[in-house]
Amino acid sequence: MSPSLPRKGATRATDIPPDVLDALSHGEMQTATLAECMALDQARLLRAVFPELSPDALAAADAACKLGILKRMSAIGALLLEELGTAGIERSRTHAADMVRGWACFMVGARPELDLQARLATIRPLADDSHFGVREWAWMSVRRHLARELDIAIAELSAWTSSRSEYVRRFATEALRPRGVWSAHIAELQREPGRALPILSPLRADPSVYVQDSVANWLNDAAKTQPGWVRDLCDQWLRGDPADATRRICKRASRNLK
């Protein structure tokens, strides 16, 4: 099978053909499903892509591969940054394998010298990646920095809502979900979800279903702690003659409200 051809990936690790898993673990094709992403051997992939890494780095990577997926990605990103410096980001972010581009995301997240604006500018091309996995790694890798400087993050990401790319617009909401996925909750937004309105309001009628789902999930997160606020906001958005997109967002946002 040519790595460039579209394919229907396995949804269970046990269903991944050995030749596909081998190709994935050598960086010869992209993953097609989350199951493939989780199953590929990152230690093998690291050796295939960066054969010059020191024995200490490889040993650290082997240890990291025993961790959960997010800690594994973060650890590999940090060790790559230490070994290769920022040049490693440039090598990784243009690699054909999505997992390698995912490491680039975590290298950006690990850079200690970047302020929030510079970090967001650096992660933005990866937030706009064509692969679903890289887009998830992009926001996961910088979320802790966004949460630490929440007001600045909201101000910066509010400008992303006008991007022509649905991927960039979706990053703006997904990165700051109050509860998030595979990530620590943001207590400030659980208590005061209205702080994120500069991001949410511009997207309330977004034409992209991808973005609509993210906005709805953001509000569904908020409804776990502030259900009245979500009801009031949806009532406000639905006044007059709202767009079909707004109706869809509010319906999905309210799916767990009683």
Determine the pLDDT at residue 7: 56
Nearest-angstrom CA–CA distance, 80 and 82: 5
Nearest to 146 by CA among 168, 182, 116, 178: 116
Q: Which residues, 6 or more positions from 250, have their beta carbon under 8 angstroms from its beta carbon? A: 216, 219, 234, 237, 238, 242
* Local structure of 258: helix, strand or coil: coil
Does residue 156 contact residue 117 with C-beta atoms inside 8 Å? yes
What average pLDDT does the segment 29-44 reach?
Answer: 92
257 versus 108: which is more confidently predicted? 108
pTM above 0.85, yes or no: yes
Could you give the residue range(s) of every CATH 1.25.40.290 domain in the chain? 149-258
**Could you read off the pLDDT of 152-206 as tens digits, one per residue?**
999 999 999 999 999 999 999 999 999 988 889 999 999 999 999 999 999 999 9
Q: Look at the domain 149-258 and name its fold.
A: 1.25.40
Indicate the average pLDDT of the chain.
94
Provide the residue type at 13 as one letter.
A
